Chains A and B, each alone.
Chain A
Amino acid sequence: MITYVVTVFSLMLITALLCISFDILAGDLKLMSLATPAIAGVGAYAAAISDVSYGLPLAAGLLAAIVASCIIGFVLAAISVRVSDVYFLLVSMAMGLILVTIFDQARSITNGPSGIAGVSPFEVFGLTVPQSGLLIGISLVVAVGLLVTWIRRSYIGRRWRALGDDKLAATNVGIDPKRELVKCVVLSSAVAGVAGFLHAHVVGIVDPSPFGLQAAILILALAIVGGSGRVWGSIAGASVGIFIPEFLRFVPMENLAAHQSVIREVIFGILLVLFLGFRPNGLLGRKTITQKSVS
């Protein structure tokens, strides 16, 4: 039972990192990216290759995951500097689909649909394998959360928020939207890379299936339900997204456990619409400048 609980918490932490990565763009620059899981996939593959093929230490794997994800993030930012709003969503969707096709087809690097198996699990302080994973997962989420909160409170975060709230006004006071977009996408990709690194070592196998468009839409739903603009919102969204279907396992109804992931998608699809209508800031989201001034 403890192993099950620890594993579920570890999956929640991976999802929380993905939601934080999504929310860096959505919460500040008001840009929705559907490439977040695919970029995390790049990080996961980088971590898996550095571990399985080269036997590098964990720190080197983490660095490889972050660097690889940042490079892909930079490419995404470079091709999307001319687009905004819905077009950014579509460019990121295109990028995500192309990346997943590459995961599937670059067999010499990614081993195709079978994926890279045998990624070594975390083992620290003499703890068992799942508990080590949980400990490292918590450490990474805390570190990333503090870093993102600090950046959001710094002048960089204020520039991003200004661009998100009123791009024209922000540009008029001297903020370069292209440069800020690149910074924001690269930071978001670095966080996705950390999520990929954690995924590779907790799950133990990296294959293309968890990084597709369905996952991207689910992350989008969780981030909006949790609330944008705050790390706590992302963690709340990930918690609701992971714990509700796990809770359904214990409801004594026929076939409910077998369909838990499908039920989760139905619930989150409906919740997404309801939250957009009734509570656009999500469960724990930050209010915009306009909302604050009105209240």
Chain B
Amino acid sequence: MSYQLFLQVFANGLFTGILFGGIAVALAVCNLADRSLHVAIGSVIALVAYFWLAIIRGELPVVLGFVLLVGIALAGNLICLAIYRWLSRRGVNAEGIVVASFGLLIAGNSALELIYGTELESMRAPWLQGNVKLGVVRFYYGDLLMSVVVLSMMAGLWAALRFGGLSLQLRSVFHDSREAAIAGVNIPMIQVLAYCFSAVLVIIIALAIGSRSSVHPHMGFFPLLIGIAALVTGGLGSVRSAFLSGVAMGIIWDFVGIYFGTVWQFASVFGILAVVLLTAPEGLFSLKFRWRRKATKHSV
């Protein structure tokens, strides 16, 4: 492999990784708030992508289109949250809620298939497909836009968690929601905030996936699986580790695609997930690991 190709693949992998990291963060934030695995986000991604498509093709006025886009993303995520909360009140455990989320995913994707058909729609726009060359590496506008938005949102989230009271509240809800409620944490508000943040991420993720491949009802399914793999590999309970492992997965994904062929990309990512679960079921950078390391350090 030539040096130029290596750099180009690495740059592409980095952008793919930021996309996967974005999905993993969208899942991680929801997981922190209610311990669920919000798999149905795959359907919300596809639905939002169809609205992006309508805006790009000029079928919707830009302002109205954006209002609808944001509304649909928020509504999609909040309806899912309402269903999870209802199931939780009826005594369904976390695993049951994951199963319900899978149900919402297949129902949502199939409903989109009934509405829009199975044809692949191309999301072509000059401000997405154009590129700029820096040295030997070519960067696409769509990738740059997605990276800037995702990284800005990550920085915003980090600031909110670091300097606001949100971090403590989220962590307390994640570790023991009952005790958090007793301590006065407004759990429904925390959950709504988390799902809204996730919805905003979904908007940019839908645009990135649509511009990289095509828009179709099942477009959110496979990136979602990588996002889940990244979330679990990083370790549930940490947004930062979910993002980092998403970036690593993206780089591995693109290199495996070049070296071994695209068909082995999924197997490689899920092989890594299986190995991580086998050796460190808590995930590579999980809270438990950090605590254990800290505890060891203190005891020494």
A interface, CB within 8 angstroms of B: 30, 32, 79-80, 82-83, 85-87, 89-91, 93-95, 97-98, 101-102, 104-105, 213-214, 217-218, 220-221, 224, 259, 262-263, 265-266, 268-273, 276-278, 280
Is B277's CB within 8 Å of the partner chain A?
A: yes
List B contacts of A276 (CB < 8 A). Answer: 87, 92, 96, 99-100, 103
**In contact, B102 and A220 (Cβ under 8 angstroms):** yes
List A contacts of B95 (CB < 8 A). Answer: 30, 32, 85-86, 89
Q: List 11 A-B contacts (CB under 8 A).
A: A79-B277, A79-B278, A83-B281, A86-B94, A86-B95, A94-B271, A94-B274, A98-B274, A276-B87, A276-B92, A276-B96
Instruction: With both chains docked as a complex, state the minimum distance between the C-beta of A28 and any C-beta of chain B, in angstroms.
Output: 15
- B232's nearest neighbour on chain A, judged by CB, is A90
Q: Cα distance A86–B100 when bound, in Å?
A: 13
Instruction: With both chains docked as a complex, state the minimum distance between the C-beta of A245 and any C-beta of chain B, in angstroms.
Output: 12
**In contact, B267 and A98 (Cβ under 8 angstroms):** yes
Task: Report which residue of B94, B107, B109, B278 has the largest number of chain A beta carbons within 10 angstroms of its beta carbon.
Answer: B107
Name the one of B37, B87, B274 contacting A91, with C-beta atoms under 8 angstroms: B274
**In contact, B37 and A262 (Cβ under 8 angstroms):** no
Instruction: With both chains docked as a complex, state the minimum distance between the C-beta of A281 and any C-beta of chain B, in angstroms.
Output: 12
Is B86's CB within 8 Å of the partner chain A?
A: yes
**In contact, A105 and B270 (Cβ under 8 angstroms):** no
**In contact, A86 and B277 (Cβ under 8 angstroms):** no
Q: Which 4 A-B pairs have the closest CB atoms?
A: A269-B107, A272-B103, A94-B270, A265-B110
**In contact, A263 and B267 (Cβ under 8 angstroms):** no
Interface of chain A, main secondary structure? helix
**In contact, B263 and A221 (Cβ under 8 angstroms):** no
Instruction: With both chains docked as a complex, state the minimum distance between the C-beta of A262 and any C-beta of chain B, in angstroms.
Output: 5
List B contacts of A93 (CB < 8 A). Answer: 225, 270
List A contacts of B281 (CB < 8 A). Answer: 82-83, 87
Q: Cα distance A102–B263 when bound, in Å?
A: 9
Q: Cα distance A278–B281 when bound, in Å?
A: 33
**Interface residues in B86-122 (C-beta closer than 8 Å to A):** 86-87, 90-92, 94-96, 98-100, 102-111, 113-114
Knowing that A90-B273, A217-B103, A276-B92 are A-B contacts, what are 4 other residue pairs whose CB atoms are under 8 Å apart, sorted by A's residue number? Answer: A79-B278, A262-B113, A265-B107, A269-B107
List A contacts of B228 (CB < 8 A). Answer: 90
Instruction: With both chains docked as a complex, state the minimum distance between the C-beta of B16 and any C-beta of chain A, in angstroms.
Output: 18
List A contacts of B100 (CB < 8 A). Answer: 272-273, 276-277
**Interface residues in B190-226 (C-beta closer than 8 Å to A):** 225
A269/B103 contact (C-beta < 8 A), A90-B273, A94-B274 known = yes
Interface of chain B, main secondary structure? helix
Name the one of A105, A263, A272 contacting B99, with C-beta atoms under 8 angstroms: A272
- B272's nearest neighbour on chain A, judged by CB, is A94
A97/B103 contact (C-beta < 8 A), A86-B98, A269-B110, A276-B92 known = no
Instruction: With both chains docked as a complex, state the minimum distance between the C-beta of B285 and any C-beta of chain A, in angstroms.
Output: 16
**In contact, B37 and A97 (Cβ under 8 angstroms):** no
- B279's nearest neighbour on chain A, judged by CB, is A82
**In contact, A224 and B94 (Cβ under 8 angstroms):** no
A269/B114 contact (C-beta < 8 A), A94-B273, A101-B264, A276-B99 known = no
- Interface size for B (C-beta < 8 A) is 40
Name the one of B37, B113, B274 contacting A86, with C-beta atoms under 8 angstroms: B37
List A contacts of B263 (CB < 8 A). Answer: 101, 104-105
Q: Cα distance A89–B99 when bound, in Å?
A: 10
Task: Report which residue of A83, A90, A91 has the largest number of chain B beta carbons within 10 angstroms of its beta carbon.
Answer: A90
List B contacts of A83 (CB < 8 A). Answer: 277, 281
A262/B102 contact (C-beta < 8 A), A86-B95, A90-B273, A270-B107 known = no
**In contact, B94 and A85 (Cβ under 8 angstroms):** yes
Instruction: With both chains docked as a complex, state the minimum distance between the C-beta of A293 and any C-beta of chain B, in angstroms.
Output: 15
Is B168's CB within 8 Å of the partner chain A?
A: no
List A contacts of B113 (CB < 8 A). Answer: 259, 262
Task: Report which residue of A86, A217, A268 has the largest number of chain B beta carbons within 10 angstroms of its beta carbon.
Answer: A86
**In contact, A270 and B270 (Cβ under 8 angstroms):** no
Mark each residue of chain B from 228 to 268: 1 if its CB lies under 8 Å from any CB of chain A, else 0: 11001000000000000000000000000000000110110
**In contact, B264 and A105 (Cβ under 8 angstroms):** yes
**In contact, A91 and B110 (Cβ under 8 angstroms):** no
**In contact, B107 and A220 (Cβ under 8 angstroms):** no
Task: Report which residue of B92, B103, B266 has the largest number of chain A beta carbons within 10 angstroms of its beta carbon.
Answer: B103
Name the one of B37, B108, B229 contacting A94, with C-beta atoms under 8 angstroms: B229
Q: Cα distance A80–B274 when bound, in Å?
A: 9
Q: Cα distance A30–B92 when bound, in Å?
A: 13
Instruction: With both chains docked as a complex, state the minimum distance between the C-beta of B119 and any C-beta of chain A, in angstroms.
Output: 14
List A contacts of B271 (CB < 8 A). Answer: 94, 98
A269/B99 contact (C-beta < 8 A), A85-B94, A87-B281, A97-B267 known = no
Name the one of A87, A105, A270, A278 contacting B103, with C-beta atoms under 8 angstroms: A270
Is B148's CB within 8 Å of the partner chain A?
A: no
Q: Cα distance A93–B229 when bound, in Å?
A: 10
**In contact, A221 and B264 (Cβ under 8 angstroms):** no
Instruction: With both chains docked as a complex, state the minimum distance between the C-beta of A105 and any C-beta of chain B, in angstroms.
Output: 6
